[in-house]
Amino acid sequence: MTQEFWDHKYETLPLREMKDLQSKRLKKLIKYVYTTNKYYHKKLTDVNITPDSIKIANDIEKLPFLTKQDLRAYYPFGLLCTPLDDIVEVHASSGTTGKPVVGPYTKNDIELWSEMMARSLFANGVRKKDILQNAYGYGLFTGAHGFEKGAQKIGAMVITIGAGNTERQIDIMRDFGSTVVACTPSYCLHIAEVAKQKGLIPAKDFKLRLGVFGAESWSEEIRRTIEKRWDIVAHEHYGLTELIGPGVVSECEYKKLHINADHFYPEVIDPSTGESLESGQEGELVFTTLTKEAFPAIRFRTKDLASITEDMCECGRTLPIQSRIKGRSDDMMKIKGVIVFPSQIEAALMQVAGVSDNYQIVKTKHGDIYSLSVEVEPLEERHKEGHLDDFEKKAENEIYRILNLHIPVHAIPPRTIPRSTGKAKRVVERK
Ligand SMILES: [Zn+2]
């Protein structure tokens, strides 16, 4: 494959030069927040940090963490480091578990975001000739806007359809000849399901060649299902409203997740002690935005679990490589002493012949203890065949093989689980 880069210099910067750049940017950042924001000033002063305390990038370990609770406490604009006048755009998380997290942007922040998204999409293989169907939800959520800005910067055509209205989605995809689709992985599978119901063959009747996915955790098995069903290449994106939105981490053509470390300084810590972990060790991801103006995040604890290495990638990029997200520490369940992530159950289910990609993990609370069961839809053909106890038994065995746990699996009729146009609800809690 030919080596092509959006920004050759920074994507292939030798490691030592990258460290120097990060050190320089971190020093500037600490001086900036120390002098412009009361909250950051106090937070740093409380632990005896002044701008002079930061000399090299590794000094970052002296700095206190930033948590979601901090962001909520200073909702909506308490952490701004610029006058409100300089803000030109604002986004926010859904805030389903409390006050939303607010992402304000200056003009320079918007330029940075567009640049990071262009770099990421270009690494995925998006080019000027492409037509990108943007089926992320528009609105306050960062997703759709980030993909639009990046694709336009490359010069691709963006169809700003947003999420939902799946029948229309399919018509537009055919009529306009979309070559790239951007949405959640579960919604992409739902579009395929509806296309099939309309008598179309997703792999044959469309011009799609790439899918750029994010906003939800998905297993390699679901990736393969999407790629096969649509005959496309599927790429992962990772980002957070607290950092900038999408554009922090994305895949090259070898499906390695590269971190845009010239602007987002990554760390991995032990989630229980807060101590920094070595390269390759799995822990909680922590990011510092090195160049954002409106709201710089310093050592933001993401609660997402992954590892980072600085191995050389076949693509030629020197940007550090992040593993796929194993799960959020919030999603981690402890069942009979065993740590369980929803992604592990998904990976097990996808091994079973005749399984569809629609399933739900049901958490039931008995006093202080949770038990788990799984409800899964077999494919229409498999459901009609009957003998579903065989199907359930196979699924239970696959789960046991991975987790060493007996988790009951129930086959339920096709199209029972509600479909989502955004993030799929994979874990439900029942009393
Ligand atoms: Zn690579």
Distance 264 CA to ligand 1 centre (A): 17
Give residue limits of the domains in the chain: 1-329, 333-430
Distance 258 CA to ligand 1 centre (A): 7
The dihedral region occupied by 340, where left means phi > 0, alpha psi between -120 and 50, and beta the remainder, is beta
pLDDT at residue 96 tops 70: no
Distance 251 CA to ligand 1 centre (A): 7
- Look up the pTM and report it: 0.92
Backbone angles phi, psi at 306, to 5 degrees: -165, 180
Degrees (nearest 5) of the Cα angle 311, 317, 320?
A: 45
Distance 419 CA to ligand 1 centre (A): 34
* 370 beta partners: 365
Tell the CATH superfamily of the 333-430 domain.
ANL, C-terminal domain (3.30.300.30)
Element (H, E) at 239: strand 233-240
pLDDT recorded at residue 423 = 84
Sign of CA dihedral 148, 136, 283, 124: negative
* Contact present, 292 and 244 (Cβ < 8 Å): yes
For residue range 313-340, what is the model confidence (pLDDT) as tens digits? 999 999 999 999 988 887 888 888 888 9
pLDDT recorded at residue 343 = 87
Distance 121 CA to ligand 1 centre (A): 13
Cβ burial, residue 310 (10 Å; 0-12/13-18/19+) = middle
Distance 137 CA to ligand 1 centre (A): 29
Distance 300 CA to ligand 1 centre (A): 25
Q: Which pLDDT band holds residue 268 (cuts at 50, 70, 90)?
A: very high
For residue range 384-397, what is the model confidence (pLDDT) as tens digits? 999 999 999 999 99
DSSP symbol at 86:
G
Counting residues of the chain whose pLDDT is more than 70, the rounded percentage is 99
Distance 151 CA to ligand 1 centre (A): 20
Distance 236 CA to ligand 1 centre (A): 13
CATH class, 1-329 region: alpha beta
Distance 170 CA to ligand 1 centre (A): 32
pLDDT recorded at residue 2 = 52
Record the tokens describing residue 244, joined without a space.
Answer: 């900038």
Sign of CA dihedral 25, 30, 35, 37: positive
Where helices occur in 125-178 by DSSP H, the ranges are: 142-154, 166-175
Distance 313 CA to ligand 1 centre (A): 5
Cα–Cα distance, 350 to 357 (Å, whole number): 7
Distance 317 CA to ligand 1 centre (A): 6
Q: What is the mean pLDDT of the chain?
A: 94
Counting residues of the chain whose pLDDT is more than 90, the rounded percentage is 85
pLDDT recorded at residue 3 = 64
Distance 1 CA to ligand 1 centre (A): 12
Distance 363 CA to ligand 1 centre (A): 38
Q: At what angle do helices 388-403 and 342-349 cross, to 10 degrees?
A: 130
Distance 407 CA to ligand 1 centre (A): 37
For residue range 232-266, what is the model confidence (pLDDT) as tens digits? 999 999 999 999 999 999 999 999 999 999 999 99
pLDDT at residue 422 tops 90: no
Record the tokens describing residue 427, joined without a space.
Answer: 């874990």
Record the tokens describing residue 133, joined without a space.
Answer: 């169907």
Cα–Cα distance, 304 to 269 (Å, whole number): 11
Backbone angles phi, psi at 102, to 5 degrees: -100, 135
For residue range 171-189, what is the model confidence (pLDDT) as tens digits? 999 999 999 999 999 999 9
Element (H, E) at 9: helix 8-11
Distance 256 CA to ligand 1 centre (A): 5
For residue range 6-32, what is the model confidence (pLDDT) as tens digits? 999 999 999 999 999 999 999 999 999
Distance 6 CA to ligand 1 centre (A): 13
Task: Point out the least confidently predicted range of 81-85, 269-273, 325-329.
Answer: 325-329
Task: Point out the least confidently predicted range of 78-92, 93-107, 178-192, 368-382.
Answer: 93-107
Residue (of 75, 194, 95) closest to 139 by Cα position: 95
Question: What is the average per-residue pLDDT within 276-302?
Answer: 97
pLDDT at residue 1 tops 90: no
Distance 315 CA to ligand 1 centre (A): 4
Cα–Cα distance, 200 to 173 (Å, whole number): 12
Distance 29 CA to ligand 1 centre (A): 28
Distance 255 CA to ligand 1 centre (A): 7
Distance 217 CA to ligand 1 centre (A): 20
Distance 259 CA to ligand 1 centre (A): 10
DSSP assignment of 298-356:
SSEEEEEEE-EE-PPPTT---S-EEPPP-EETTT-EEETTEEE-HHHHHHHHTTSTTEE
Distance 252 CA to ligand 1 centre (A): 5
Q: Which pLDDT band holds residue 216 (cuts at 50, 70, 90)?
A: confident
pLDDT recorded at residue 213 = 97
